[in-house]
A and B are shown apart, each in its own frame.
Chain A
């Protein structure tokens, strides 16, 4: 390996001479061997971004080449891990350097000493293609890890296949051309892992959040953005999604976020129980925690490292959800590095390639047929933190050009403590039409109609509220006053959902449907009564209406809902 020399140090950017490395190759800078990546070549100098603090590095110190790009280590043992942005397990770093992260530590992404019970699924003489499993390992109680032929190999005929306990480095399979396959494989994080076919988004990703599933649903393999100013509940939203979405694996990329928030997550995840399997949620999670005060270059890399592990589990045929919090911090890392490189800035100082990088990242999502012939998906939810809550800024705008679902978080709703504070007038989902058949088939033929009716009421409500702001609600005709009341019910009893209430935090499809159906049922009764001349004040003081408010907090809600609906029918029968 060539050894070069540091020529110049300016923050996280180092210039070095005497190297032969390629673009994006990993190099080790200085006496301490700081992990770094080549990001530019100019004349006889390589421009390098360093993933660690460069204090004390001086010109003349050595720069060692590794001859490879920044890779993720893929194999059994990834699940339950907590990594920094370049896939170094944080607990291992803590063991090596104590409570504060010191520099120049190299730790493997997965344990190379641990032995796993490898069970072959192919036999001698079988032909294996790239991406095809040769065996499995029970990685977690409920997650079977498939050991696959790396996609960048040719495959071939199985010459030897072993079974038993192996470390990830030991050979478990030999192909006829002599290729020895261990369980571990390495993949450059900036390159998308290949798949055979990308499929249409026709299956919804259930999140248990009424406003999302009911109004703005995300498809499996789809992309969504959550933009919102600070304090609008982005992070709670992302954590709720990680907890409740019906996926097999969750990859959470905490990119430039708060240390205490990561601590909260790291304490909460192991205690959380997956509602579907009764197993700890952590068993199917991978967390990347690169807090805002950790090196900026590692923050830039964390998004790619996270995506690579997500794709790897997708290739085994799993549904994966990747949540990135926040892509704005990632974009800012790019801007910071770009400015250190003295590149010509684009809008607001962001590099001109911002849009291209964002597109590259989101395009790695999708529901696919894998090389091994399985069906798997990576769905991506990216939080965006627009400065000052201004959605016209470059990161939000470039993101919106790519993603299909937009959940607009609204500071006004947060101030009223309406959560999730997703604005129902500004948000949209472009998967709507693709997903409608699924809901008709699986939940109720009325699902889509109810959704449209509720939406129409909310639209009308918004228009009426403008008038109310001018003249007061008493000046409106009675039918419009009633509409306001029904809209208020949809907003408070249905759209609002508490992430901290043990029952309300997750709402199954059927309950979502029943609750909305009940509110719309109330509307029928109310307008019928109004038609026969019952004053609107009398209608609005129906006891059954208030009773409806608390149904969503009940686990076994059906008997109570039936009771309330019966009470409602009785009440309206005698109302005059």
Chain B
């Protein structure tokens, strides 16, 4: 089992081809020692009697035909213990904070088995992020995976940090942890995150995995799996509520494409491999709640859309797996609005199970729908105004147009440290709607208007 082979036949990009081995298992962990004694790790991608293909995580630099290859007979595992909280690790799981290696209580296969759908619990606990555009109109619930679709140069990292700082559930305090996986981000971005974690003391309940832009691209394929394996341990073994933030999924997918090309696979759309959907799903689907277990995993993947194009395969396939998406808008950002979340294309699919009586407030759904409807209509009218001018609008249209402007200024816009409660958020919504005649509130039941409309509440 621990035999070493010096039978490398070919080295191509991140792949090595090894001949004349004993039977080697698929996905097995491999250690490769260079002639200078450096040990690199890899994984079996293809195995047969004739040849074994290994992808090397730390890059193939320094390898030669003289390098020796050892197959460990086991798949890649993550060492885990409660002490992992507060640690900073590399993208392949090695300590990066100068601390000792993790002494494992358990070791887990990083591939992760699928949660049996029949034991999944329905996510329904409302998470208050303190951001109106999320809480009010695209509510997040525990166990959800809600990505941020952004573009280069937009403040998605600030939004992610604000969420990590402010996220809480209403009511009882419970133990929770943040897992932060950085994939291919720049040193500066990493420092920005680390500084904020230190400033707010968040590091004490976080585990950080850092794969920076100049680290090997192949390593990136491991990073989220290590993070999620840790998350599963914290959530389902230790009963914690875990928030996983990973950035930037675009870099992860680029690595996947790079690997696919190196393996000379038949490419799918835009050169990305045909199995990208399945691969992304094996990460994203590791969010959720299991019946009878205390913890939960909530995911916040961040990805930058190349050219702000939401139809690009990366956001597109992500959107089909995740339970909604938050869209960061360049237009709003240019207007100086923070957080520049455009609620129109944004969506939280699990919103309905986390709002209303017993979760937030009974008027939540109706208020949100009504805000949506008039904001969308108002935005459409802006196009018209650009052509015919405000004067040509009907009275109703003018009201809607003004509503849309006020909505952006008062509801969307808020401070980077402003932590609004859900009730504040809903009341801001009501104040905006109160500027419209009551007959225009067609999506709200009469009894809810009677109870929550500012006009009646004052009386």
Contact = CB atoms under 8 A, between A and B. Distances in A.
A2 to B, nearest CB: 19
A534 interface: no
B192 interface: no
A54 B27 contact: yes
B122 A264 contact: yes
Interface in A310-346: 329, 332-333, 335-336, 338-339, 342, 345
Interface string A289-311: 10111101000000000000000
B26 A54 contact: yes
Contact of A260 (B236, B288, B388, B439): B288
Contacts of B337: none
Given A259-B120, A416-B376, A8 B49 contact: yes
B116 A260 contact: no
Contacts of A550: 446
A96 B387 CA distance: 67
B282 A293 contact: yes
Contacts of B377: 416
B46 A263 contact: no
Interface stretch (B59-67, B170-178, B240-248, B270-278): B270-278
B204 to A, nearest CB: 29
Interface in B119-141: 119-123
Contacts of B316: 230, 387-388
Contacts, number: 234
Interface string A456-494: 000000000000111111110000000000000000100
B347 A231 contact: yes
B361 to A, nearest CB: 16
Contacts of A8: 46-50
A11 B279 CA distance: 12
Interface stretch (B321-329, B421-429, B450-458): B321-329
A99 B290 contact: yes
Nearest to A333: B278
A9 B48 contact: yes
B277 A91 contact: no
Contact of A336 (B145, B275, B311, B312): B275
B27 A349 contact: no
A101 B113 CA distance: 6
B394 A473 contact: yes
Of A101, A260, A329, A471, the most chain B CB neighbours within 10 A belong to A260
Interface string B273-315: 1110110011011111010010000000000000000111100
B319 to A, nearest CB: 4
24 contacts: A8-B47, A10-B45, A55-B109, A58-B47, A90-B116, A99-B290, A99-B293, A100-B112, A100-B116, A101-B114, A254-B117, A258-B321, A262-B117, A266-B118, A292-B285, A292-B321, A293-B282, A293-B285, A329-B320, A339-B275, A349-B268, A415-B345, A474-B392, A546-B442
Interface of A: 7-11, 15, 53-61, 82, 90-91, 93-94, 97, 99-102, 229-231, 235, 254, 256, 258-264, 266-268, 289, 291-294, 296, 329, 332-333, 335-336, 338-339, 342, 345, 348-349, 385, 387-390, 411, 414-417, 468-475, 492, 500, 546, 549-550, 553
Interface of B: 23-28, 45-50, 75, 109, 111-123, 143-145, 236, 265-269, 273-275, 277-278, 281-282, 284-288, 290, 293, 310-313, 316-317, 319-321, 323-325, 344-345, 347, 349-350, 352-353, 365, 369, 372-373, 376-377, 383-384, 387-388, 392-394, 397, 439, 442-443, 445-446
